[in-house]
Amino acid sequence: MSLPKCKIIELPKIPDRRGNLTFIEAGRHIPFDIQRVYYLYDVPGGASRGGHAHRNLEQLIIAASGSFTVCTDNGHQKEEFYLNRSYYGLYIPTMTWREIENFSSGSVCLVLASEHYDEEDYIRDYKTFKKLAAGGDDHGAA
């Protein structure tokens, strides 16, 4: 079984002496239509965000300002990505556990999502995630 992988996507960057511009087009730069956009900011030092996976949702995570580390786990392998450039996005496929940590002061984590918010899509228990990633089901899971 081949699992989709997280990957860095380089976004278009239009340099200008007055300031650079980057844009994102669904289906062209990222492999999904954007249904929701949200961002994390004012994250206290030492705090971690994420700590879950999604059954159906795909995401692109961008360090719009500052930097942070995204720790990913597909149930079989783990990988860390350090994001610190606003023209790079980290593609997170379905069924990927993610934790975001080591936020720099003033950082902004911008997230583009393939689905509207749906609590049922979240997997918030790591043991349940591991079972599902191994091909099991979560009937009766905590």
- Only one residue has tokens 């918010």, namely 117
Q: Catalytic residues, which ones?
A: 52
CA-based nearest residue to 112, from 22, 4, 2, 15: 22
DSSP 120: G
Cα diameter, the chain: 58
Question: Are the CB atoms for 117 and 71 separated by under 8 Å?
Answer: no
The sign of the CA dihedral 135, 136, 141, 142 is negative
Backbone angles phi, psi at 119, to 5 degrees: -55, -30
Helix/strand/coil for 87: coil
